[in-house]
């Protein structure tokens, strides 16, 4: 498995192939990834587009915004099926829609007996239509089993189509439990592939069955395989997590990447979220107490501002740890806490929590009428967030809760382990609470530890709230890791970082990085940055470009300009490549200074802004 070290990257052409994309179509977290990752890659300078089926829900809600580009036919073996290509836009990113009314004009996205044919058609159309898009991609990035065949068709067609040979492929596993397993007969009858593909990667013999496994084939054929968190990538080597594919995971380990998903930090921002009744910030959380009172009222809980309010916003299924919550519920109620459970799912759990609500009136609130505005209100009003999932490839709701200052209590698995650092009272580090053994008693002990801190050390608990709210869960961070992966597999396809760069271009790259670092620093180090602070430092850039620029801090803001400044107090001499690597967090200022690769002069006694601007997040 690869560990990502983020480095500077040259823009690429990427086609993101997905079976759903918010807001056009959504059934789960993949739609949120498709909504957020491509714009983050575009922001980083890549040329990217999305391609997705044109579902009934998309046509009904967004049909007027789409433009028909082409009508054609798609051939799968002896089947010849009508197809149309439409164009739309989302957050500045082009979105292509593949239409076939018979396959996609249905109430649901998935769950039909002909799903194998539906998504074989979609994948075949993606490859056939590559020449009709705005660009021929360098990277074809596919997601989950529904788009696995796009990689197979691409590899199959490369033999006859020279223009496809330079394209590299990425396959992302969002949940390995859903693999796209079908009968062997569908290889030729439905997927229209030569029989050699059965032994060439698609064959799957498990528990006496001889099937086709589309996920397996894509994993073997892709140039890189990624999962949605580093820990989940490691877990997939074990049968408990891999659902029969652990041997395949072992085979592809050399090209396996674990990249933690992000969230839309602008959308989930309590300082201006329109879905919560009161707003608050990391430095002024008075509005959170008002949100707590409001959500207590909505769920019929007692107006007890001092009681810790716990919440769970999740599907009511065993995998989400609901059984553990059920087992410890009497003990929680005796502990003197309030609990809100909010989500749809298995009827047995709906019945149980409806009973529990009547059994502990004023202390337990429950509703299965899930909706996003109510979820945001719960995130904003709760003190602690329960997420004891048995396994969790990434998980997003713990990140959302943390953005609202709600301290997480999680099982150390998958993305939960990667996104929450367990608090330890002996050193005070951490931003949440965690348990490693998946047992009810261990969850109970973790909750007890959190409640104990809540009552006994209010200052420390508030520190955890602050850490949660200022933690970087942005997609910008994830996008840099994806760019590193793309860079690894493209080899000669990407422009090599050699040769001269016009100073105007070099300046724009540095300015973009510095402004992004400034945004992050204001969130992380707000208490250390004085509004009346004024300072100017000048940078001499050399190497693959030559020029002078300056950065000025004034009135709590930062200004980056491509000129010298007569009143500069500190001076930096450094190559463009080293400046870019420092700005992206690959190498520290100290390391380059000690090795003589950066020269610092002038008044450096107040170097906080220099250190964190040039080498952020350290």
Q: Which two tokens stand for residue 599?
A: 């020269």
- Write phi, then psi, for 479 (nearest 5 degrees): -60, -35
263-273 residue pLDDT tens:
989 989 999 99
Q: Which residues face 532 on adjacent strands? A: none
Distance CA 405, CA 376 (A): 12
Give residue 497's pLDDT band: very low, low, confident or very high (50, 70, 90): very low
Domain boundary (431, 452, 470) is at 470
pLDDT for the residue 491: 66
- Over residues 442-471, the mean pLDDT reads 96
Higher pLDDT: 11 or 97? It is 97
Examine residue 481 and state whether it is found in any structural domain, yes or no: no
215-229 pLDDT tens trace: 999 999 999 999 999
Q: Kindly state whether residues 462 and 561 are assigned to the same domain.
A: no
- 506 and 357 in a common domain: no
- Across the strands, what pairs with 142? 17, 171
Residue 518 has a pLDDT of 77
Cα separation, 477 vs 494, whole angstroms? 21
Confidence band for 115, pLDDT divided at 50, 70 and 90: very high
Residue 281 lies in a domain: no
Give the chain's mean pLDDT: 89
**Same-domain pairing of 239 and 110:** yes
Report pLDDT for 6.
Answer: 41
Is residue 207 helix, strand or coil? coil
Query: Is 270 a member of any domain?
Result: no
CA distance 44 to 38: 10
Specify whether 135 is located in the same domain as 251. yes
155 found inside a domain: yes
pLDDT value, residue 517: 76
Helix/strand/coil for 310:
strand
Q: How confident is the model at residue 196 (pLDDT cuts 50, 70, 90)?
A: confident
Number of domains in the chain: 3
pLDDT at 614 over 90: no
In terms of domains, do 235 and 86 share one?
yes
The percentage of the chain sitting over the pLDDT mark of 90, rounded to a whole number, equals 71
Quick one: pLDDT band at residue 528, thresholds 50, 70, 90? low
Mean pLDDT, residues 181-185: 91
pLDDT for 208 equals 72
How many other β-carbons are positioned within 10 Å of the β-carbon of residue 160?
Answer: 7
Q: 190 pLDDT exceeds 90?
A: yes
Q: What are phi and psi of 187, to 5 degrees?
A: -55, -50
**pLDDT higher than threshold 50 for residue 51:** yes
Q: Are strands 79-90 and 93-99 parallel, antiparallel or unpaired?
A: antiparallel
- Same structural domain for residues 590 and 446? no
- 592-613 pLDDT, tens digit each: 777 778 888 887 654 445 555 5
492-522 burial: b if 16+ Cβ within 10 Å, else e: eebeeeeeebebeebbebbbebbebbbebbe
Closest CA to 360 of 388, 380, 384, 340: 340
For residue 603, the model assigns a pLDDT of 73
Q: Are residues 43 and 150 in the same domain?
A: yes
Torsion angles phi and psi, residue 166, rounded to 5: -75, -15
Residues 128 and 247 in one domain: yes
Position 351 in a domain = yes
Does one domain contain both 373 and 299?
Answer: yes
Q: Which domain-ending residue is among 470, 490, 525?
A: 470
pLDDT for res 505: 80
One domain, residues 547 and 417: no
- Scanning 404-545, the segments in alpha helix (DSSP H) are 414-419, 440-456, 458-470, 475-490, 503-524
CB 226 within 8 A of CB 253: no
Q: Which long-range contacts (CB under 8 A, 24 or more apart) does 562-569 make?
A: 562/503, 562/504, 562/507, 564/538, 565/536, 565/538, 567/536, 568/536, 568/537, 568/538, 568/602, 569/535, 569/536, 569/537, 569/602, 569/603
Residue by residue, DSSP assigns 356-397 as HHHHSTTTEEEE----HHHHHHHHHH-SEEEE--S--SS-SH
pLDDT at 29: 85
Q: Would you say residue 347 has pLDDT above 80?
A: yes
Q: Which domain holds residue 149?
A: 13-258
pLDDT of residue 605: 53
Would you say residue 353 lies in a domain? yes
Note the helical H segments in 131-285. Answer: 148-157, 186-189, 196-197, 214-221, 230-235, 239-242, 246-251
Is there a contact between 29 and 396 (Cβ–Cβ < 8 Å)?
yes
Q: For the beta carbon of residue 100, count every other beta carbon within 10 angstroms.
A: 18
Residue 544, pLDDT score: 84
Last residue of a domain, one of 425, 454, 470: 470
- Is 170 part of any domain? yes
The verdict on 137 and 75 lying in the same domain is: yes
Number of other residues whose CB lies within 10 A of the CB of residue 103: 22
Predicted local confidence at residue 492, as pLDDT: 40
CATH number at residue 579: 3.30.1050.10
Phi-psi region of 77 (alpha: psi -120 to 50; beta: other; left: phi over 0): left
Alpha helices in 222-371 (DSSP H): 230-235, 239-242, 246-251, 286-298, 322-335, 347-359
- Average pLDDT for residues 463-473, to the nearest whole number? 95
Q: What is the CATH number of the domain that holds 70?
A: 3.40.50.2000
pLDDT at 576 over 80: yes
Least confident of 178-192, 328-342, 465-479, 517-531: 517-531
Contact between 336 and 307 under an 8 Å Cβ cutoff? The reply is: yes
Q: Is residue 274 domain-resident? A: no
pLDDT of amino acid 251: 92
Contact 296, 319 (CB under 8 A): no
Same domain, 18 and 83: yes
């Amino acid at each position: 498995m690869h560990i990502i070290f983020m480095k500077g990257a040259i823009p690429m052409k990427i086609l993101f192939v997905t079976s759903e994309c918010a807001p056009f179509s959504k059934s789960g977290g993949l739609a949120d990834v498709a909504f957020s990752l491509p714009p983050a890659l575009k922001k980083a300078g890549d040329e990217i587009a999305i391609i997705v089926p044109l579902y009934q829900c998309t046509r009904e809600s967004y049909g007027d915004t789409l433009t028909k580009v082409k009508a054609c036919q798609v051939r799968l073996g002896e089947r010849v099926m009508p197809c149309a290509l439409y164009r739309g836009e989302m957050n500045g990113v082009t979105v292509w829609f593949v239409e076939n009314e018979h396959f996609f004009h249905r109430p649901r996205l998935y769950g039909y007996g002909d799903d194998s044919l539906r998504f074989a058609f979609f994948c075949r159309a993606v490859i056939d239509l590559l020449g009709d898009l705005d660009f021929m991609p360098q990277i074809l990035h596919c997601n989950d089993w529904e788009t696995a065949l796009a990689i197979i068709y691409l590899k199959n067609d490369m033999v006859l189509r020279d223009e496809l040979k330079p394209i590299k492929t990425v396959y992302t596993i969002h949940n390995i439990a859903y693999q796209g397993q079908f009968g062997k007969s569908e290889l030729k009858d439905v997927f229209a592939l030569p029989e050699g593909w059965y032994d060439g990667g698609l064959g799957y013999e498990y528990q006496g069955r001889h099937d086709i496994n589309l996920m397996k084939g894509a994993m073997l054929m892709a140039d890189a395989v990624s999962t949605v968190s580093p820990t989940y990538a490691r877990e997939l080597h074990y049968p408990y997590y891999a659902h029969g594919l652990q041997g395949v995971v072992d085979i592809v380990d050399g090209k396996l990447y674990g990249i933690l998903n992000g969230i839309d930090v602008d959308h989930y921002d309590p300082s201006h979220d329109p879905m919560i009744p009161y707003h608050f910030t990391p430095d002024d959380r008075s509005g959170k107490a008002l949100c707590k009172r409001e959500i207590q009222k909505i769920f019929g809980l007692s107006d007890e501002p001092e009681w810790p309010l716990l919440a769970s916003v999740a599907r009511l299924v065993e995998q989400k740890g609901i059984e553990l919550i059920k087992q410890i519920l009497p003990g929680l109620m005796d502990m003197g806490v309030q609990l809100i459970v909010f989500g749809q799912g298995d009827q047995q759990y709906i019945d149980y929590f409806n009973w529990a609500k009547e059994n502990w009136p004023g202390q337990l609130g429950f509703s299965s009428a899930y909706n996003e505005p109510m979820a945001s209100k719960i995130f904003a009003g709760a003190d602690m967030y329960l997420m004891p999932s048995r396994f969790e490839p990434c998980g997003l709701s713990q990140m959302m809760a943390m953005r609202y200052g709600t301290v997480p209590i999680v099982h150390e698995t998958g993305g939960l382990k990667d996104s929450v650092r367990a608090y330890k009272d002996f050193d005070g580090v951490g931003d949440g609470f965690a348990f490693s053994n998946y047992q009810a008693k261990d969850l109970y002990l973790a909750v007890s530890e959190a409640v104990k801190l809540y009552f006994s050390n209010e200052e420390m608990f508030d520190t955890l709230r602050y850490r949660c709210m200022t933690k970087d869960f942005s997609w910008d961070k994830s996008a840099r890791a994806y760019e590193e992966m793309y860079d690894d597999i493209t080899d000669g396809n990407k422009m090599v970082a050699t040769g001269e760069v016009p100073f105007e271009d070099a300046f724009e790259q540095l300015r973009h990085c510095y402004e992004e670092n400034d945004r992050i620093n204001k969130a992380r180090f707000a208490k250390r940055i004085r509004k009346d602070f004024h300072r100017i430092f000048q940078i001499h850039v050399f190497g693959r470009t030559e020029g002078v620029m300056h950065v000025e801090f004034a009135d709590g803001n930062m200004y980056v300009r491509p000129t010298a400044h007569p009143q500069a107090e500190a001076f930096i001499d450094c190559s463009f490549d080293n400046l870019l690597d420092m700005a992206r967090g690959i190498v520290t200022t100290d390391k380059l200074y000690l090795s003589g690769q950066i020269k610092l002069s002038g008044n450096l006694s107040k170097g906080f802004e220099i250190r964190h601007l040039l080498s952020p997040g350290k």
